[in-house]
Amino acid sequence: MNQPAGPGPNAIVHFDICGPGEQDLHRFYGALLGWKVQPQGPGYALVDTPSGLRGAITDADQATVTLGVAVSDLATALRDAEELGGSVIMPPTDNGWVVKAQVKDPAGNLLTLIQMRTLQEAEN
């Protein structure tokens, strides 16, 4: 039986939960939801959920949740986001794992857009 190659375009593939009290956040999400929290160093932990969705918990002054969505063409998605009333907050950036950018929607919610090709390469 063939396994899917990974998430398709426009799927949520990552999340970031940010806020003060990093250890409290690790304990909260680990105990409440059974998520596996793996500290990677000061201020950053990788998170594995039972469904396979991966994310991060990051120490920050302000509490936020950001979704990461895989897109087939990052440049086109950024252009479309601006045409639809959003704004580019972070241009395409290679963080060593993936190429991603961040936009704000018209209401000000932050969204991370991740180039699918680099996401699939990072998973292999």
Residue range 82-94, pLDDT digits in tens: 999 999 999 999 9
Closest by CA position to 111, among listed 10, 9, 8, 7: 10
Closest by CA position to 69, among listed 25, 111, 30: 111
Give the model's confidence band at 5: pLDDT under 50 very low, under 70 low, under 90 confident, else very high.
low
pLDDT in tens, 28-69: 999 999 999 999 999 999 999 999 999 999 999 999 999 999
Domain boundaries, the chain: 12-123
Classify domain 12-123 by CATH architecture. Answer: Roll (3.10)
Give the model's confidence band at 75: pLDDT under 50 very low, under 70 low, under 90 confident, else very high.
very high
Output the CA–CA distances (angstroms, integers) from residue 18 to 44, 61, 120, in the order listed: 9, 8, 25
Tokens read off for 30:
């680990």
CA distance 119 to 117: 5
32 by Cβ neighbours in 10 Å (0-12 / 13-18 / 19+) ranks as exposed
- Model-level pTM? 0.82
pLDDT in tens, 6-20: 677 899 999 999 999
pLDDT at 120: 53
